[in-house]
Amino acid sequence: MKKITTLLIALILLSTISVLAQTVEIRGVVTSEDDGMAIPGVTVSVKGTTMGTTTDMDGNYSIKVPSETKTLVFSYIGMKTQEIEVSGRTQINVTLESDIQDIDEIVVTALGIKSEKKALGYSTSEVKSDELIATRTDNFATALGGKVAGLNITNTSSQGGSGTRIVLRGGSSITGSNEPLFVVNGVPFDADNEGTSSGLADIDPNSIESLSVLKGAAASALYGSRAANGVILITLKSGAMDSRPKVSFKHTSSFDQAYEIPLQKTWAQGVFDFSAQDWTYIDGDNQYTSSSWGPRISDLDGVDYYDRWQVFKTGYTSDNTFSVNGGSDKASYFVSYTNTMNDGVLDPLSYKRNSVNANTSFKFTEKLTVSSNALYSSQDIDRFEESNNNYTFMNTFLASPPSWNPNPIYREDGTIRLYRGGGREPYLYMLENTGNNIKRERFAGSVTVEYEIMKNLNFRSVTGVSTNHYTYENYKNKGGLVNTEGTYERGTRFSKDIESTEMITYDNRLGDFSFDVMVGHNIVQNYWEDMDFDGTGLVVANIYNSSNVSNYTASSSWGQFRSWSLFGKASIGYKSMLYYSITGRNDWASSIKNDYFYPSHSFSFVFSELMKDNEIIDFGKLRLSYAKVGAPASAYATNVVLQQASSSDWLGYSWPFNGQNSYLPSSTYPNEDLQNEFKSEIEGGLEMKFFNNRLGFDLAVYKNWSDNQILWQQLLNSTGYEGGYINIGGITHKGIELVLTGTPVKTSNFSWDITFNWSKDKSRVDDLGENDEPIDLGSAGYAIVGQPFPVIYGDAFLRDDAGNLVLSDEGDQTDGRTTYGRPIIDPRGKKILGKIEPDWIGGIRNSFRYKNLTLTTQIDFQKGGLVVNFDEHYLTYYGMSSLQEDRPEDNRIVFEGVMGHYDYDTKQVVVSDQNNSAWTYYSSYWQTVCQSTNEDNIQPRDFVKLREVSLTYSMPSSVTQKLHVKGIDLTFSGRNLWRKFKDEFTGPDVETNTGGIDNGNAWFNYSFPAMKTYSFTLGLTL
């Protein structure tokens, strides 16, 4: 036995020596021929095998190969692949050449089809994954701001998890949604994007591999009835076959600081005593007033300025991401988990998210590959309501006098202290006695089957299922000054979406011609249900539950939508120079009786193919396209829907009737002839690259027109309906988009890359139906025929024909005057007060790399556009606006304008004196006539922002190898660290819209302050 054991050990040792003798380790460095710089991420493989590795951050590689290995293959995107003979060497350094024709050639287009970018006859934009995570945001959509020409981003709030308004090329629907379609791994994704939260935050930015923006109708035409607003394609990260397991961990610590909203800090609580002609101080404890029209704080003994902003703290967010990926010769995998924990700038505020993403791919045979993706996310948000309601935190926070100290919250007798005589809740009280909680839970999964039927003929199927569960709770404790009895509200929303797309593609070359054909079909089913509970009168304080209320109302609803489609595409190319593509899609939907066909045509001419010997021009392409797309009618828009009879219905009857509840048909007329909205677009473009791709530009011009708008039309009561939806109205947009790219400096140790984008969209409302009546879009925006979309519309000050402000020449002219010398509201009706959308928007991104150090900055800017700062409507009344900091000592002001009045008999403006010298009371102006118009509250939306700054240090391989890791990255970053508005703007941020995701987009009131964020990130690759 001992001899046998000895023999076995000897055999094992001999085998090991033999194997070691047959294995050789080859090392080297890979650099670029252009500048001599090291290239990280180059794939180094043994020809004819699955053995391989990649170069590190310094371009170094090391690979153990069999001793009989003859050839190594070096490949990298944008570089020519090289095959190098080993010839017994153990040190092989390689220099790769640029392959200009391959750079950015393959892009993802509609339905996940991969196409040559030079063959596209329309504009697309790509955003790299590292650009989305350069600085920390809750929502990847927020990070898109300033990165894509023609994309306009506004936020509903700075609170964690809030929604983001996203519009491409100005929007095409008057009252419908203007949000683009989101597609994740080939399956449309329900954004469920609203003011207080967003389903887009379910997608972890760390899991995104690439993002493509299809802005024009031709680019998105294959999505038919869902393509009117453009498409954003998201591809999640996946593993690679024939790759070793790679484990990555990333931690980010972020710190949020609130920008102070400008307020006056000079004048104390009080009123102007007209009899004494002086400011009078009121302390807010023994006497009460909502006004800060008192004396200067510095003139009062024992009275100090109170800094309200000390209640805000530095918010902290911890992000941790763990991922692992790899693959064999037949399979690949990628799994990631991210945990986000945010402690907000106020103690009750928080945001928590957990997300998991798993991608797998299996190559069962040489012809059959099956891939799967599973995404799970949960969000838990604690936030405050933002509105002008009397119980919102920012209401009393901003309106409180600067001389009033809110501490303590309670008097000695236990009653609540407040500087005014009721009608509001003290803001410190609300920190513990009001709140809003939102929970989201999402699962989205898809399976992709790809089968090669025969050479050049392929089948592809993508089937996805998504469930989304949303719950909100809104509570106010009993015992408050406004909510004396307390309230509790709860609602749930559940949706399930099933979608399947199958297609067959054929592509081939015949001499100088290339062509491809695709046909396919799509089927969709959406189901949703809602339940709402509104309770009043808490039985026991501090317990927020449906069983702890005295009275309640409840409601529920459900619905379903189905559609199916046939589509196809045919393309032909000639000598890689001329390309023409045609697509068509026909949609059938359950919401309407008719089916609709959506065509597109696109053409591209790569004229640089005629200039191959040109040393300056590397690439040049002209493109032209036309397409027609649509926006669907909502489910049940053409059906009779039963609704529970309300306490007083639109016909004037009261319910319950004789003690009985009832269900009645909806007051909306079921228009069986309702059709989809349509959008047509013509787009042209020019794309060029110069000097070995060191300089380039992409120019797009477009005109689109939307008609058949689905709008509400009021009907006579004799019809039996209050109104109904009909197809009327239209909008036209004309625009230009420009992207410039350059690499001004590129050496072996230093490089500078710059990207500049700029866009301008000009809109016009063409038609709003028979009477062309203005349409209220919400958030202070209106659609008005002949005007840009949208505009601010409302009561205005009276002016003469020359545009001079008319000041009243009527009324008492003594010290007791009330109207004399004061502006007048124009009695002739509402006026157009300004355009909401900007004249143009843009962004500039710079990236500087020196050895292992990379500095990236992004500056965004906007010119033009207006917003209604409704904070000023209230703050100017209270005397708290920063515009009132330098108020006249005698409370008297002389306005520039002419003296006059409006003659109701002749309906004319009468001017009595061209030179005004009449004074009026400053405080009274703000508290009377100014409250009847928003004209004084309209402010410019221009801005320049330092949107992003990041500094990353990648440790060299000489350090990481000693630490037994593949890579270590350290990043310091900041977001919104600096901003510049016009002096006239006094709100929290020009990009805020308190009204949520609506088409008005021009109003904020008592919104939370904007934030600046500082972050530190540690990334490890094992």
Render pLDDT for 236-290 as a digit per residue (tens, 0 to 9): 999 888 888 999 999 999 999 999 999 999 999 999 999 999 999 999 999 999 9
- Residue 167, classified by CB atoms within 10 Å of its CB into exposed (0-12), middle (13-18) or buried (19+), is buried
Q: Give percent of the chain above pLDDT 70.
A: 95
What are the tens digits of pLDDT across the range 969-1005?
Answer: 999 999 999 999 999 999 999 999 998 889 999 999 9
What tokens were used for 802? 């020359």
Residue with tokens 């069986």: 672
- Residue 619, classified by CB atoms within 10 Å of its CB into exposed (0-12), middle (13-18) or buried (19+), is buried
- Domains detected in the chain: 21-96 (2.60.40.1120), 639-673 (no CATH), 796-829+869-939 (no CATH)
What tokens were used for 25? 């380790």
What are the tens digits of pLDDT across the range 877-935?
Answer: 999 999 999 999 999 999 999 999 999 999 999 999 998 889 999 999 999 999 999 99
Radius of gyration, CA atoms only, the chain: 33
* pLDDT for the residue numbered 1: 43
Question: In the Cβ-directed half-sphere of 843, how many Cα atoms lie within 13 Å?
Answer: 21
What tokens were used for 467? 């469930």
* pLDDT for the residue numbered 100: 54
* pLDDT for the residue numbered 648: 59
The pair phi, psi for residue 432, each rounded to 5°, is -110, -5
What are the tens digits of pLDDT across the range 434-471?
Answer: 999 999 999 999 999 999 999 999 999 999 999 999 99
Is it the case that residue 808 has pLDDT exceeding 90? yes
Average pLDDT for residues 216-220, to the nearest whole number? 94
Average pLDDT for residues 478-492, to the nearest whole number? 95
What are the tens digits of pLDDT across the range 390-428?
Answer: 889 999 999 999 999 999 999 999 999 999 988 899 999
Residue 513: closest CA among 582, 458, 576, 581: 576
Please name the residues in contact with 11: beta carbons below 8 A apart, sequence gap of 6 or more. Answer: none
Q: What angle do CA 416, 420, 421 make, to 5 degrees?
A: 75
Pairing of strands 278-281, 106-108: unpaired
Mean pLDDT of the chain: 91
Question: Cα(776)–Cα(292) distance, rounded to whole angstroms?
Answer: 34
DSSP code string of 437-459: EEEEEEEEEEEEEEEEEETTEEE
Cβ atoms of 139 and 200 within 8 Å: the answer is: yes
What are the tens digits of pLDDT across the range 814-871?
Answer: 888 889 999 999 999 999 999 999 999 999 999 999 999 999 999 999 999 999 999 9
What are the tens digits of pLDDT across the range 618-645?
Answer: 999 999 999 999 988 889 888 888 777 7
* pLDDT for the residue numbered 50: 63
Structure-model confidence comparison of residues 98 and 595, the more confident one: 595
The pair phi, psi for residue 577, each rounded to 5°, is -130, -45
Amino acid identity, position 848: F
* pLDDT for the residue numbered 69: 86
Residue 50, helix vs strand vs coil = coil
* pLDDT for the residue numbered 203: 94
* pLDDT for the residue numbered 550: 96
Residue 129, helix vs strand vs coil = helix
Is it the case that residue 104 has pLDDT exceeding 70? no
Average pLDDT for residues 44-68, to the nearest whole number? 80
Average pLDDT for residues 353-381, to the nearest whole number? 96
Residue with tokens 């929502």: 139
Q: What is the pTM of this model?
A: 0.89
Is it the case that residue 35 has pLDDT exceeding 80? no
Average pLDDT for residues 129-133, to the nearest whole number? 91
Average pLDDT for residues 745-773, to the nearest whole number? 93
Question: Cα(641)–Cα(130) distance, rounded to whole angstroms?
Answer: 48
**E strands of 410-433, at which residues?**
none
Strand partners, 549: 538
Cβ atoms of 90 and 65 within 8 Å: the answer is: no
Structure-model confidence comparison of residues 69 and 823, the more confident one: 823
What are the tens digits of pLDDT across the range 535-581?
Answer: 999 999 999 999 999 999 999 999 999 999 999 999 999 999 999 99
* pLDDT for the residue numbered 653: 64
